[in-house]
With several copies, the nearest count.
Chain A
């Protein structure tokens, strides 16, 4: 875990999904993985908190889920590949995610992307 612990601090603004995060987020990611099924997405959308409880999420994790707060979802162990299936349920695009995480409007975020061309 040494290498991992060091690497967490290595790149500002970046949450490396290493063993430490994986241990934290297993149930959260397992829940998000279940969203590959349309049926499960429907069940979740009907009763999000009940669905979270069935996957034994912590209170912190449940709040991050119901708030759709991406940075907090990452901090409580979510992996972006699985989280994208959660945010997809609410029609959030990766631009929406980027805007929210960087505190920009969608237009500002798109402008930032284009500015790097």
Chain B
């Protein structure tokens, strides 16, 4: 059976992509942020996972309000990237793994998650930037990917508890996949930030620190928040922490911390990375 070896959760701020493209990793503004990923890169290098299941939120590139899924699972041979409207560069397509996608889809439907199935899907910065952060030397990396999109565009958002349960269901699905492949689960978004409204610029360091701690040791605590609570505590877009919670849910074993890093601000956002091993 396949094994989930850990979860990597990371911010996906658009400007990260520009910094990478322009080689600014060692500039004063960026150094501390990028250095925070080094221990995770070393862990990935040692582990060499075969598959990445990426829990991310589309920002209005692949999905529109005419058919907006709460949870969507990719089942494509490859995942293209596309212009998001800001002239971000378009990259070669990421490798898919449709056979395992279908296994995941079948298992999730059996576990009564009412997912949308996507045999074609364009990835935005929320998928691309964490991939570029975790695999800085190849684009696309060799790893096979399965994107799982969670709605953060339109309220009602899924309940955080439901996102956590989705992660658990993904954990069960992977455990019943017959190869011995190594799977890493990635959750992207957050941490606290708010782009819109008179409250724009809101950041909540204390809450972010609680999240990091709770994700490691007491994820149910975070799962008890409502989506509205998350908006209040983490800012309107800070609610993206539900992807971290979903990724954490997939770790059904003993969880230990590989590394974490936290930095205020990158762009308008409290940027964080947390890597957890699953034994």
A and B touch in the complex (CB under 8 A): yes
Given the interface contacts A98-B268, A112-B201, A117-B264, does A84 sit within 8 Å of B85 by beta carbon? yes
Contact of A26 among B65, B86, B105 (CB under 8 A): B65
Q: Knowing A3-B106, A29-B65 touch, does A82 contact B265 (C-beta < 8 A)? A: no
Binds B, one of A13-21, A47-55, A59-67: A13-21
Fill in one digit per residue for A21-40: 1 if any B CB lies within 8 Å of its CB, else 0.
01100100110110111100
Closest Cβ–Cβ distance, residue A18 to chain B (whole Å)? 4
Contact A11 B199 (CB under 8 A): yes
Contacts of A4 in B (CB 8 A): 102, 106, 155-156
Q: Which of B85, B106, B196 contacts A35 (CB 8 A)?
A: B85
- Return chain A residues, CB-CB under 8 Å to B194: 14
Q: Residues of A within 8 Å of B, CB-based: how many?
A: 53
Q: Is A11's CB under 8 angstroms from B232's CB?
A: yes
Q: Known contacts A2-B178, A84-B195; is A102 also within 8 Å of B60 by CB?
A: no
Bound complex: CA of A81 vs CA of B228, how far in Å? 18
B85 and A7 contact, CB distance less than 8 A: no
**Residue pair A113, B265 in contact (C-beta under 8 Å):** yes
Tell me whether A71 and B102 are in contact (CB under 8 A). Answer: no
Taken together as a complex, chains A and B put the C-alpha atoms of A97 and B83 apart, in Å, by 21
Report how far A83 CA is from B205 CA in the complex, Å. 27
Chain A residues within 8 Å of B26, by CB: none
Assembly CA distance A46 to B139 (angstroms): 35
With a cutoff of 8 Å between Cβ atoms, the chain B residues found around residue A88 in the complex are 85-87
**B195 near A98: Cβ-Cβ < 8 Å:** yes
Nearest 3 Cβ contacts at the A-B interface: A19-B102, A13-B199, A85-B85
Question: Which residues does A use to contact B, with CB under 8 Å?
Answer: 1-4, 7, 10-20, 22-23, 26, 29-30, 32-33, 35-38, 41, 70-71, 74, 79-85, 88-89, 93-95, 97-98, 101-102, 109, 112-114, 116-117
